[in-house]
Amino acid sequence: MKLTFLSHACYLLETSTHTIIIDPFLTGNPKAEIGAEDVTCDYVLVTHGHSDHIADAVEIAKRNNATIVSNYEVAMYCGKQGANTHPMHIGGQHEFPFGRVKLTIAHHGAGLDTEDGFICLGNATGILIFAEGKTVYDAGDTGLFLDMKLIGEMHPIDVAILPIGDNFTMGIDDAVKAVEFLKPKVVIPTHYGTWDLIDVDPNEFSEKVSGTGSDVEIMEVSQSYTI
């Protein structure tokens, strides 16, 4: 599989048969190198309903006739705007044509400021993707939690995508502890550097992870990694 970093927490995952975008946030994203209109995909995975994860989900899904996979509340919200959706919730898994998806807990919120006022969009989630014999864990936005140990034990992880930007999510030291809990083969730091508020040095993360047994892959925007 090919994983391409589109900036912030947005990734494109290409299997041999399907293309999946995760947390589409390109419009209004100062680091994005492509626009939402450039995305071709079959599925749109959304970890939680914050604008920096869901911004372009409906537009991309509708234009591609793709299906949005997210928690029930996000799915209903997107469905009302005319997108195809597949609602799930924490602990549940489902077999899709590209592979299996399981939602995990994430300690974080979810909500959007809309024309109709502020709406809450259920719990934030993490996403496990099991495809082509590999396991990818995207923690979404979250603080550190001990159940990461359980996630790593039950689902040996090839690639973990973990936020390190602090303020809204885990910072570097907590993310290093998360790596110790999850024991992924490879960890990709994310959700940093998009704005000054979350501008941390990924090399510091890399140095602190060395010795845990996990490799760190710091991705540049538009760079791809083969899983």
Alpha helices (H) along the chain: 51-54, 57-64, 72-80, 148-154, 172-182, 202-209
What's the length of the chain? 227
Q: Identify the residue among 25, 43, 52, 126 touching Mn ion (CB under 5 A).
A: 52
173 vs 175: CA distance, rounded Å = 5
CB of 140 to Ni ion, least distance (A): 7
The residue range among 19-27, 50-58, 130-138, 200-208 that interacts with Ni ion, by the rule CB under 5 A, is 50-58
192 vs 100: CA distance, rounded Å = 28
| Complex with Mn ion: residue 52 or 166, whichever CB lies closer | 52
Residue 59 touching Mn ion (CB under 5 A): no
User: Quick one: residue 65, left, alpha or beta (phi over 0 = left, psi -120 to 50 = alpha)?
Assistant: left
The residue range among 59-67, 139-147, 178-186, 217-225 that interacts with Ni ion, by the rule CB under 5 A, is 139-147
Q: Which residues between 126 and 145 bind Mn ion (CB under 5 A)?
A: 141
Q: Which residues between 12 and 51 bind Mn ion (CB under 5 A)?
A: none
Q: Which residues bind Ni ion (CB under 5 A)?
A: 50, 141
